[in-house]
Structure 1
Amino acid sequence: MKTLVYFLFSSTEWLALIVLTFAMFKLQFKGYWGQIILTAVAMSFLSHFLFIVIDKRVIATVLQPPALFLFLWQVFRIQVFYAALITVYGYLGYLFIQYAIMLLQLGIGVPLESLVPGSGIMYVLQGISICIVLLIAWLLIKFRVGYTFVPDYEHTPFTLKGINLRLFLLIIAGYCAIASSNYIAFTISIPTLLALLSYFILGVLLYYAQRKEYTND
């Protein structure tokens, strides 16, 4: 029963992250719900293996983004550069909300050590995060807010210069921030620094995405 509950929360959490990513970039949902659910379930199995089976949550955030990128690239057939871009955007967007909730929990006296996968406190954090993320995604869809520069064609050519080059460097920086997040949070125990770093990189990414939206660079 505990494993079933874990998979239910974990799959829904990944589903919310993917839905948020699609909403941020105005990607089409119709005809892709099967792939979205499949990706969420597969990512949940990966999380279970890393967090529960081998108990290596420190490296979970190193392996999860590349796995999500592969799904976006090979299952949804999104052009490789933009698959990497929206992976980092979506992941950082979700972390933005989760870190805000986590810092609030720390502020009211809930210790970081209690945020263990499968614990009641962790389910509360996941549940609140899921609800907020799905609400934000719904608002983005309802008011048609988001970016439209992700091409429909998988083999769309692009040049690694100008804004694309800056976005590529930010993709690397964003992945490094994501990859190190569990280590910083659970080993060094400085979640405030982690949150500020993630917020900064996400802010810069959003700035350059806004520029790209209105230029042909």
Structure 2
Amino acid sequence: MDVIVFLSVSMWEWFALILLIFALYRFEIGHHLGQLAFSGFLLAMCSYMLFIVFEFNLIALLVQPIAAFLFFWLMFKIPPLYASIIVINGYLAYCLVMSTLYLVTEQFGAVITPSTSTNYAFHAMTGLILLLLTWFVVRFRLGFSFVHYGDTGFTAPSLPGLHKKLLPLVTALGCLMLAGFNLIYWRTGYTPLFVVLTALSLGLLGYYAFRMEHEIASARRNKRIG
């Protein structure tokens, strides 16, 4: 029974996270619902093996973003560099939601213990908040559109100028952020620091994505005019 509950909640959370990423980058959701659900299930299985079977709690936090990246790259056929940057942004958003919710529940004296009903309810609530954020993003047409989906799948634009060199660097820094923040959280348990660092990093990467969106759009307009 515990296995079913764990997989159900984990799949719900992964599905909500992938859905949020699709919404943030304005990908077509309707045509991929089956793939999204299947990806959520497989990632939930991965989480179960890492957390429950092998008890690699610390390593799991480093492996999960990599697993998500592989799904976006290999299953959804998004070019690797773009797959990495969107997964990092999405995962940082997830970490921010989860850690903020944890901070709030702490204020009410709730204790989140692994493999308990409280823990499952906490993660189910995290997934619900992610879905609400997805609705908000879609409803108000927020997000980025520099990775396009066409008849042949996802296509990446040619990057203008400095972004060709910056994107790999930003991706590497994003990976280091995720790894470092997870280590801080699990080593110290200091949630406020985790929330602040995650919010700052998400803001910086979001700003970079906005700049890239603007410059790519400008390059496209200039190309059409020329």
Structure-2-length-normalised TM-score: 0.87
* CA distance in structure 2 between the aligned counterparts of 1:31 and 1:202, rounded to whole angstroms: 28
2:26 is paired with a residue of what secondary structure?
Answer: coil
- Distance verdict in 2 for CA 1:136–1:84, change over 3 Å: same
- 1:131 pairs with one of 112, 123, 128: 128
- Counterpart position of 2:184: 184
Q: Which moved more, 1:95-104 or 1:164-173?
A: 164-173
- Distance verdict in 2 for CA 1:184–1:74, change over 3 Å: same
* CA distance in structure 2 between the aligned counterparts of 1:32 and 1:128, rounded to whole angstroms: 24
Which runs of 5 or more residues in structure 1 are unaligned? none
Amino acid at match of 2:19: V
1:93-143 alpha-carbon deviations (Å, 9 max, x no partner): 1111111101112233335xx431x21221122122111110110121122
- Counterpart position of 2:224: none
How far does residue 164 in structure 1 lie from its aligned partner after superposition?
Answer: 4.7
- Counterpart position of 1:142: 139
* CA distance in structure 2 between the aligned counterparts of 1:157 and 1:21, rounded to whole angstroms: 19
Q: How many residues align?
A: 214
2:148 is paired with a residue of what secondary structure?
Answer: coil
Which runs of 5 or more residues in structure 2 are unaligned? 220-226
Larger radius of gyration: 2
* CA distance in structure 1 between the aligned counterparts of 2:51 and 2:187, rounded to whole angstroms: 15
RMSD, aligned α-carbons: 2.0
Answer yes or no: is the 8 Å Cα contact 1:185–1:191 preserved in 2: yes
- Counterpart position of 1:101: 101
* CA distance in structure 2 between the aligned counterparts of 1:125 and 1:182, rounded to whole angstroms: 18
- Distance verdict in 2 for CA 1:51–1:77, change over 3 Å: same
How far does residue 198 in structure 1 lie from its aligned partner after superposition?
Answer: 1.1
Q: Percent sequence identity over matched residues?
A: 30
Mapping of residues 165-184 of structure 1, within 5 Å: 165-184=165-184
Answer yes or no: is the 8 Å Cα contact 2:160–2:215 preserved in 1: no
- Counterpart position of 1:213: 213
Amino acid at match of 1:20: L
Answer yes or no: is the 8 Å Cα contact 1:173–1:201 preserved in 2: no
How far does residue 155 in structure 1 lie from its aligned partner after superposition?
Answer: 6.0
- Counterpart position of 1:202: 202
* CA distance in structure 2 between the aligned counterparts of 1:171 and 1:189, rounded to whole angstroms: 26
1:37-66 alpha-carbon deviations (Å, 9 max, x no partner): 111001000100111001111111211111
How far does residue 178 in structure 1 lie from its aligned partner after superposition?
Answer: 1.9
Answer yes or no: is the 8 Å Cα contact 2:9–2:124 preserved in 1: yes
How far does residue 184 in structure 1 lie from its aligned partner after superposition?
Answer: 2.1
